[in-house]
Structure 1
Amino acid sequence: MPNNLLNLKTPAEDQAAVLKADYGLAQLGLSNLRKVYWNLPTEALYEEVIFRGEARISHQGPLLADTGQHTGRAAADKAIVREGTSEAKVWWGPYNRPMAPDTFDALFARLQGYLQGRDLFVQDCYGGADPDYRLPVRIVTELAWHSAFARNMFIKPASTEEYKRFVPEFTILAIPGFQATPSIDQTPGPTTIALNFDQKLCLIGNTAYAGEIKKSVFTVMNHLLPLQGVLSMHCSANVGKDGTSALFFGLSGTGKTTLSADPTRGLIGDDEHGWSDNGVFNIEDGCYAKVIGLNAQAEPQIHACTRRFGTILENVVYDPASRRIDLDSDARTENTRASYPLDFIENAVLSKMGPHPKHIVLLTCDASGVMPPLARLSPEQALYHFISGYTSKLAGTEAGLGREPEITFSPCFGGPFMVHHPAVYAELLRRKMLRHGATCWLVNTGWTGGPYGVGKRISIKHTRALLNAALEGKLDGAACYRDPVFGFDVPKHCPDVPDGVMYPAESWPDRAQYEARYRSLAARFIENFKKFEAEVAPEVAAAGPRVG
């Protein structure tokens, strides 16, 4: 039953308005709806999901959802409305394509028509754990399981009274049954993710991939927070027993979630954060972990979440008879996902806030197999690599990616979600690093001994040992060698890591091939950075690799 068009009474219908906000959907121009289900708890949403046939229940209780044709973000279908209040602040280009205001208005009018007679689910929540910077966000969804996803991922009001007086400052409409008509709506295709900062509204159509909801809220925060002097970051964050916190920047597949979920450290969050004068805060209240090949021994905390009531598993293969899941199967996609509340992680920091970080880790998944497993960066090198955002996109995280990793440069390690020019975020990072004395590390979680298909993936055991040594101060003052191409310092030794791991050139069967591949990668860095040179300080532009 795609929606309740037969007007059947549903399991939670009698409770649908118990947590209804006084500020309703009529202010959005949504009318003639069959029923609006307001802020249902997870248990009630499970009943609605099963009643509507939207998902299945797997072994030990997680929901199993199939996102249909879209198993990753539809990056090419995202647009921002070009209007007077934000036009001068947006970094227009491939990540932020312009949409005319009248095009958006016409699209929204058709969406309003589509919704008449249908059921909708609402979750009123917040983006941002710091009360000084949180954003009231209303997530309106066509699917009950999307409402459960929003409930997992964002911060919930604390009382019935808070729900009643909730007034959103931004609204996300996620309606996968609605298709844009390119000839009418001037969109690239039937799928649309359209943000309007003036109307404080985002429209998501023709995709059930729940990550679009999450990343639309993040995009909004990436616009608003820097205007308040807060650095918004595509990173995970944790805090050690000594009270010092660390940030882990990286695109999907580089290890942000895995490496931050360290049982010896408190988890502030796994993906999106702000850095204000108060310290670091999580933008979310949940985790959205990639679970392909998840191993109970290597990643026990995340693995345990795949067997808990309340978790939502996206596109995970399962046995329909036993309902047991197969995390190793990529039959649907390599971008299999688990959404679960942050407090499912045993060592989660319940405040979702932490002190100013002392360590900044830039994660790259180097498919070329030439980058060292860990290097210490100067402040200028840190900004150069932050703006560059080098990694290899792994299969499935975006529509159109094949099985081979694709070398890419994603500014600020999150280009698709950045609204301002990368130099804006880099300047905020520079000020905060210098003010709070943070050390920056570059960590390669990709290949060694050769490129993808020849070498092997760097051991997560070694990566964890390197990170632990860096975060615990064991590499302070350690003997280093200067990388001849990139100029950063690479420790010669690290506890619990074989010395040979620190010298990637020695793991290649042919040294000449290694040198050629390394210089080719460096040339890609140099060419990519040319587009940013005019906006950054000369010393930052000079902090890149040299191939002469």
Structure 2
Amino acid sequence: MQCETMTSKNTKTYLNLSANELIELALTRKEGVLAANKALNVSTGPRTGRSPKDRFIVKDTLTEKTVDWGQVNQPLAPEKFAALWSKAEEALQQKEAQFVSYFKVSAEDKYALTVKVMTELAWHTLFTQNLFISDPTLNKDQVNQWTLLCVPSFKSDPARDGVNSDAAIILNFTDKKILIVGTYYAGEMKKSMFSVLNFLLPDREVLPMHCAANVGKDGKTALFFGLSGTGKTTLSADPDRFLIGDDEHGWSKEGVFNFEGGCYAKCIDLSKEREPVIWDAIRHGALMENVVLNSTTHEPDYTDASLTQNTRAAYPLSHIPLRVPANKSGHPNAVLFLTCDLFGVLPPVARLTKEQAAYYFLSGYTALVGSTEVGQGSGIKQTFSTCFGAPFFSRPAQVYADLLMKRLDETGAQVFLVNTGWTGGAHGQGGSRFSIPTTRAIVTAIVNGELHNAEYEELAGFHLAIPKSMTGVDSKVLNPRKAWKDIHAYEDYNKQLMQKFAENFKKFNVTDKIRNAGPRE
């Protein structure tokens, strides 16, 4: 175990510990307990999801005219950041121990960033070890490295620090620093580095994507865009395909590459039958957040949402037997936009034109499933999340849409809209959600090429091309009009959703060709 004693503050500094060492220390320090599956289980306290209202970007000469400022990207003055960083750094140095580790993000070396992670908890370090990319050559400060300082026990003061609460997540692009205080939710660390790449990579002609990616035995790559809870991790963890990653990727002129070295899966209602790859990956070395354990056996109860619906597991890609060792691949043949339609009027699958792809990418229509954000509640509600990941993209949406269109032009990749939401009726109004086996059959038909050459018909109103038939799916559900018993109710909900799309899209300045690719009477 590498450990240095800093006598000036009498604080032990643990450097680049192994997973076993981190787990041992986490147990000794009572940061968590071992579950029956041998994963380390921890609690994040009252904040069991991201805190978007507490996320800031330092506004300076670098970011003033390049960041899309607003509710998602809130500005903070450089002097406020510097003062809060100093306070948090001092607070960490007064702890009994601190953990320092070096990683990189991006499997493509030419776009990779090194990051020094400084935390007060062994399990936070285990999380970053599982999610970032380890490199044995990184064991000291590097030129141009980023520094991520996470001190959850230190509380920010809105009056003093210019923030909104006792927690703050702040990105400083000029100083290459990320500060996280007041929240134990580990997902803030991975999403902060994701946000960094989302800001930097467009200048290098790389499209950063909130998506999963996998590769078939035929070498063909598929991308799965979507918000948490819409099936991104579940559908990409296919027992018949090789996983690249489940959440964050870049698409360059050379191909697709993972930003991460692990997965961060939702655990609520997890079952071995429906999601065997994820189930088997949660073992020794994995980390579970807010999963309720049986008090006697310590078996995880994945159905228990008493702490949060946003129960999570973080595990390294090495826990996935079928994976792409290089953590990258060539250009995708298929791109899937996963939407969760609460209105029950979108088809389970539709083939999109290039202009429709831009329209639905900018719209990012889906549902917020489970409490992935603080204050969101435990319900489910419709939302439009630009680029299928609005909370993580700091530049204007058009920057990312233009890059998507460029990649589609260059590669000829086919885009499909896949609805993992409701059919036969609206959510709570008699509709039912598409089953995982049904959606898996659709995904299979996309990635094996069946739907590239299928016979299609047009869905009125949305003007989407929907297949007339396909293997493994009842043809009655392919056209949502036919899945509803009450056609008048269908028409009413269909009209409501079309209006919501039109209203949301008013904020985008795009060509008429893209605007007219959306729903219209």
Q: Could you state the TM-score of these two structures normalised by the residue count of structure 2?
A: 0.97
* CA distance, structure 1, for counterparts of residue 24 and residue 378 of structure 2: 37
Report the residue type matching 1:285 in the other structure.
G
Q: Secondary structure at the match of 2:136?
A: coil
The equivalent of 2:423 in structure 1 is: 448
Residue 139 of structure 1 aligns with an amino acid whose one-letter code is V
Say which of 513, 516, 521 aligns to 1:542.
516
Contact 1:138 1:168 in 2 (8 A): no
**Unaligned ranges ≥5, structure 1:** 1-11, 19-25
Q: CA separation in 1, counterparts of 2:23 and 2:378?
A: 34
Displacement of 1:69 after TM fit? 0.7
With normalisation by structure 1, the TM-score equals 0.92
Query: Are 1:36 and 1:120, in contact at CA under 8 Å, matched by a contact in 2?
Result: yes
Corresponding residue for residue 204 of structure 1: 180
Is residue 231 from structure 1 mapped to residue 210 from structure 2 by the alignment? Answer: no
**Partners of 1:33 and 1:115 within 8 A in 2:** no
**Secondary structure of 2:504's match?**
helix
* Counterpart position of 2:67: 90
Is it true that 1:16 corresponds to 2:3 in the alignment? yes
1:148-159 correspondence runs (5 A): 148-159=126-137
Deviations 1:80-111 (A, max 9, x none): 01000122111111110111111112211221
451-460 or 179-188, larger mean C-alpha shift: 451-460
* Alignment match, 1:4: none
- Kept in 1: contact 2:198–2:208 (CA 8 A): yes
Q: Distance in 2 between matches of 1:357 and 1:415?
A: 23
Q: Which residue of 2 aligns with 1:345?
A: 320
1:48–1:144 contact (8 Å) kept in structure 2:
yes
Instruction: Please tell me whether the aligned partners of residues 124 and 168 of structure 1 are also in contact (alpha carbons under 8 angstroms).
Output: no
Match of residue 411 from structure 2? 436
Partner of 1:9: none
User: How has the CA–CA distance of structure 1 residues 164 and 404 changed in structure 2, closer, same or farther, with 3 Å as cutoff?
Assistant: closer
After superposition, residues 136-151 of structure 1 pair within 5 angstroms as: 136-151=114-129
Whole-Å separation in 2 of the counterparts to 1:370 and 1:138: 47
| In 2: Cα distance, 1:172 partner to 1:540 partner | 39
* 1:179 aligned partner: 155
How far is the alpha carbon of 1:395 from its aligned partner? Answer: 2.1
1:388 paired to 2:363: yes
2:47 alignment partner in structure 1 = 70
**Deviation (angstroms), 1:165:** 6.2
CA distance in 2 between counterparts of 1:327 and 1:441 reads 31
Q: Indicate the residue corresponding to 1:457 in structure 2.
A: 433
Partner of 2:292: 317
1:152-210 CA distance string (max 9 Å, x none)? 00111134xx4246446211111110101111112111110011111111111111111
3-state DSSP of counterpart to 2:401? helix
Q: 1:81 matched to which residue of 2? A: 58
Q: What is the CA-CA distance between 1:60 and the residue it aligns to?
A: 3.0
2:353 to 378, 382, 394: 378
Distance in structure 2 (CA, Å) of the matches to 1:36 and 1:520: 57
- Equivalent residues in 2 for 1:86-125 (5 A)? 86-118=63-95, 119-125=97-103
In the aligned structure 2, how far is the partner of 1:36 from the partner of 1:265? 41
Structure 2 SS opposite 1:89: coil
Q: Provide closer, same or farther for how the CA distance between residues 508 and 47 of structure 1 changes in structure 2, counting only shifts above 3 A.
A: same
Secondary structure at the residue paired with 2:110? coil
What does residue 453 of structure 2 align with?
Answer: 477
SS at match of 2:256: strand
Q: Which residue of structure 1 lines up, in the alignment, with residue 387 of structure 2?
A: 412
Q: Deviations over 1:27-81 (max 9, x none)?
A: xxxx836121111000100111011110001113100010001111001110101
1:282-328 Cα distance to aligned partner (Å, 9 max, x none):
0000000001001111110101122x100101000101321111011
Number of matched pairs = 518
Matched, 1:245 2:221: yes
Distance 2:142 2:86 in 1: 25
Between the aligned partners of 2:54 and 2:241, the Cα distance in structure 1 is 38
Q: For 2:373 and 2:10, how far apart are their aligned partners in 1?
A: 33
What corresponds to 2:504 in structure 1? Answer: 528
User: Is the contact made by 1:120 and 1:141 (CA closer than 8 Å) also made in structure 2?
Assistant: yes
> Using the alignment, how far apart are the partners of 2:121 and 2:56 within structure 1?
23
Q: Structure 2 vs 1, CA of residues 165 and 403 (structure 1 numbering), >3 Å: closer, same or farther?
A: closer
- Whole-Å separation in 1 of the counterparts to 2:143 and 2:154: 26
Kept in 1, the 8 Å contact 2:229–2:370? The answer is no
1:45 aligns with 2:19: no
* Offset of residue 477 of structure 1: 2.9
Which residue of 2 is the match for residue 336 of structure 1? 311
Question: 1:284 pairs with 260, 273, 289, which one?
Answer: 260
Q: Which digits, 9 at most, give the CA deviation of each residue in 1:432-452, with x for residues without a partner?
A: 111011000000001112122
Instruction: Give the aligned partner of residue 5 of structure 1.
Output: none
Deviation of 1:511 (Å): 1.0
Structure 2 gap ranges (5+):
none
Preserved CA contact (<8 Å) 1:367 1:446 = yes
Q: For 1:488-533, what per-residue CA distance to the aligned partner results, in whole angstroms no more than 9, with x for missing partners?
A: 200010111111110222222311111111111111111111111x
Would you say the 8 A contact 1:65–1:314 is kept in 2?
A: yes
Q: Secondary structure at the match of 1:163?
A: coil
Partner SS state of residue 226, structure 1 = helix
Residues in 2 aligned to 1:291 and 1:76: alpha-carbon distance in whole angstroms: 25
Contact map agreement 1:449 1:455 (CA 8 A) in 2 = yes
Alpha-carbon RMSD across the aligned residues, in angstroms, is 1.5
